[in-house]
Structure 1
Amino acid sequence: MPIANSRSPARSGWRVAALIYTVAGVVCILGCAVAPDSDVSLLIAIAGGLPWSLSLLTLGLSPGVADTALLMLAASWSVNAALLWWLALRRPGRHGPSHPA
């Protein structure tokens, strides 16, 4: 028997999570770009970009390291957001029997 509402609550939950994470990422990365001296915004951006932001540990303290770190943080937020959007928008597959036994 087909279900009238094909959108599951879990699927809409993933969409909400992906949207919130994307907006938060844009705000954090822009905040770091505008005010690079703010420790709080940098820590929030690093925490939100985990586990990819652990690559910041590979950077040495050389001129231009802040710009490189910002690019790495932006990339990590983008990867995480892309994964969340993939979970939110993928079609449900067949993971079990199509009818109850």
Structure 2
Amino acid sequence: MLKVCSILCPEKKNEFEKNSLSRRTVVRRIEMMANDIKTILTGRMAGFESFSIALDESTDLSDTAQLAIFIRGVDKEFTVTEELLALQPLNKTTTGEDVFNEVQ
């Protein structure tokens, strides 16, 4: 990353050198961002006047079925929010009951 930075934006290289990119630091920062996003989304969902849920099922490279759950909502000011709510693996079967249980 430092090599890329030195080519693309050499004036900011010192700022990149100050940041730790160890595995633990990256994991911790991703978890912090996920918590912030969850808090923001939960707050927006509380103000929805109406919402809908969309589902999509596909298979990943390891041949495991993945259920993507999306939520779309509209608040009083007609602001539309659409986000990926969850990505759940369906390990054994992909029956309607399995999908229902994951959404519930």
- Asked if TM exceeds 0.5, the reply is no
Structure of higher RCO (CA pairs closer than 8 Å, 6+ residues apart): 1
Normalization by structure 1: what TM-score?
A: 0.31
Question: Which structure: larger Rg?
Answer: 2
Q: Which has the higher strand share?
A: 2
More helix by share: 1
User: Under a length normalisation based on structure 2, what TM-score does the superposition of the two structures give?
Assistant: 0.30
